[in-house]
Structure 1
Amino acid sequence: MTSLDTALDEYSAYVRTERAYSEHTVAAYAADLADLITYAESRGAVDAHDLDLGLLRDWLWSATERGLARASIARHAASARGFTAWLARRGLAEHDAGARLRAPRPARMLPRVVSQTALEGAIRRLEERAAGADPIAERDVAIAELLYASALRVSELVGLDLGDVDRERRTVRVMGKGSKERVVPYGAPAARAIDRYLEHARPSILEAASASASNSASNSATKSVPAPSGPTSGGSAVFLGVRCGRMGVRSVHRLVAEMLAEIPGTGPSGPHALRHTAATHLLDGGADLRAVQEFLGHASLGTTQIYTHVSAERLKQSYRTAHPRA
């Protein structure tokens, strides 16, 4: 017999290595299943064979009673289904207990889309900050332009290396979900911002960090104490933080949230808002849905189709605003 805790450890290793799930996804699955195991043990179920459909349904009901949102409950159910299917395939359980497990569909909210005029204004404000040759401001302009131009996920943006940017062809090579690689184009405004950042701002950031490290080392030597280690070089990372390390996801979230703070509208205001906006603007401009699917790196066309609903809603809103008989 295999304990549920042991099975969870093996399953986490499976989805991390064989399924190539991201660490964020693995952590989310593990948290959901740890909650399931705690509940199962409270019901006297300690072995993989003890899981059954009734116990899984009771677990989801208890999550509802605790006030979890429908989206969280739906994810709990998906995590359990993946786990029990794996248990059955491995022969650790006699049957797939979660095969018929269902959860309420999460309420699907349309993503936030920023108008072209509002987005241009936000980028213009960033450019005004960069007019004084501030390298960090120039970096921020390049980030905003590239996120919108290529509809990148924030993880794809911060993972870019110098060799991934083809400035001649105006493309970036990114590693998306499931370790799927794709090449995405970007336009002239993004090209200007990226060129300016790579030719001026990035070297300035490196130089400033190097000078700071040298000063710190000199001061430490004067005081006869060990010199602090210098800033991380960031290696070949395209976008660097102030200490020259690879820029992190949270820093990009903060940048975009501040950039969109003055723009009216509801919904998330992080980097994904620019991805949603780019996809919707492409469809509004007549782009083919399958081409947008490839552009975004979606595995399923159904995921991309939400943007057709966004475009339809925008059309309805324009109609109600402008048509005399709306």
Structure 2
Amino acid sequence: MSPYADAEAVFAAYLAHLTVERGLAANTLASYRRDLRRYLDHLRPRGRRSLAEVTEADVVAFLAALREGDERHPALVASSAARAVSAVRGFHRFAQREGLAAHDPAHGVHPPSRSRSLPKAMGVAEVERLIAAAGPKDAPLTHRNRALLEVLYGTGARISEAVGLTVDDVEAGRVRLRGKGGRTRVVPLGRFAGEAVRAYLTRARPVIWAQGRGTAALFLNARGGRLTRQGAWEVLRSAAERAGLAGVSPHMLRHSFATHLLDGGADVRVVKELLGHASVATTQVYTLVGVDRLREAYAAAHYRAERPTS
């Protein structure tokens, strides 16, 4: 491929690199594809057909367009714009490294700083209300719903990891989760999650499985096929509605899992392994939640906390 290769050809080569060599998860790959497609659409009216023609000003203009929006795209918040610019920086870095472009015009363009928002966690009583609202008593799908909710909260699994489970991934009180980048981790199933999964496997899954074509997936939909992410989202949404809880998401259960572990005295490095984080720095945001809770408790309970100093 020429150093002056068409930008579309480099785009295809980069996606192949992300898929084969870096082994990115399907959802992450889709985000890269979407962000870079928007970037190439931005370059086309500017007359840039090859990456050799792209300048730093083109990349800066793309960042501005992300933040401002247009008739086809809403303005992006800093975190979303940062993700798109990071994709562009990786794209140009790849092109230069592979000899497909003589320079990297994105090298000096930095993503907008992201405001650090603390993850929101549910209280233990709220989690119990949510799981208790899994559905009508003893219905096969209720057993499935309860097992799904217990696994999400009891293991800290991402929703994609939970729906990706097979029956063979659960054994001897443990569950094997496949995370981002193809990384696999084994996480203990607590007593409540273990009992819910066993009840589902013995009393409900065979009934649901008989409606389908014999899939090995752990969590099944009503037709006996693998439960999708959207289907799992609907299970959670319905349970939250019955429990009178607003704003509940699958990731909130993951946040709650981590926060409750740290509140109970777990080491942050242990929580890192359970969550499947590549770096402990990612996990440490949960320690800030604990500090915030301590600060609120102090302000509410200490009689001198709110008094001005003289």
TM value normalised by structure 1 = 0.86
Checking the alignment, whether the CA contact within 8 Å between 2:133 and 2:240 is kept in structure 1 is no
Q: Distance in 2 between matches of 1:146 and 1:35?
A: 37
In the alignment, which residue of structure 2 is the partner of 1:250?
A: 230
Checking the alignment, whether the CA contact within 8 Å between 1:118 and 1:263 is kept in structure 2 is no
SS in 2 for 1:60: helix
Higher mean C-alpha deviation, range 279-288 or range 256-265 = 256-265
Q: Distance in 2 between matches of 1:309 and 1:69?
A: 23
Q: Distance in 2 between matches of 1:246 and 1:50?
A: 47
Structure 1 residue 123 and structure 2 residue 123: aligned? no
In the alignment, which residue of structure 2 is the partner of 1:300?
A: 279
SS in 1 for 2:177: strand
Q: Distance in 2 between matches of 1:122 and 1:155?
A: 20
**Number of residue-to-residue matches in the alignment:** 296
Structure 1 residue 275 and structure 2 residue 254: aligned? yes
Aligned-pair Cα RMSD in Å: 1.6
SS in 1 for 2:133: helix
Structure 1 residue 287 and structure 2 residue 266: aligned? yes
Structure 2 segments unaligned to the other structure (5+ residues)? 70-74, 306-310
In the alignment, which residue of structure 1 is the partner of 2:84?
A: 76
Checking the alignment, whether the CA contact within 8 Å between 2:85 and 2:110 is kept in structure 1 is yes
Q: 1:294 to 1:159 in 2, by over 3 A?
A: same
Checking the alignment, whether the CA contact within 8 Å between 1:254 and 1:270 is kept in structure 2 is no
In the alignment, which residue of structure 2 is the partner of 1:159?
A: 164
Higher mean C-alpha deviation, range 31-40 or range 156-165 = 31-40
Alignment of structure 1 residues 82-97 onto 2, 5 Å = 82-97=90-105
In the alignment, which residue of structure 1 is the partner of 2:115?
A: 107
Give identity over the alignment, percent. 36
SS in 2 for 1:59: helix
In the alignment, which residue of structure 1 is the partner of 2:143?
A: 138
Q: 1:80 to 1:181 in 2, by over 3 A?
A: same
Q: Distance in 1 between matches of 2:33 and 2:237?
A: 29
2:15 maps to a residue whose letter is: S
Q: Distance in 1 between matches of 2:57 and 2:127?
A: 50
Q: 1:249 to 1:188 in 2, by over 3 A?
A: same
1:249 maps to a residue whose letter is: R
* 1:217-246 superposed Cα distances (whole Å, 9 cap, x missing partner): xxxxxxxxxxxxxx443x111110000000
Q: Distance in 1 between matches of 2:85 and 2:158?
A: 26
Q: Distance in 2 between matches of 1:45 and 1:108?
A: 35
- Equivalent of residue 189 in structure 1, options 182, 187, 192: 192
SS in 1 for 2:87: helix
Per-residue deviation at 1:264? 5.5
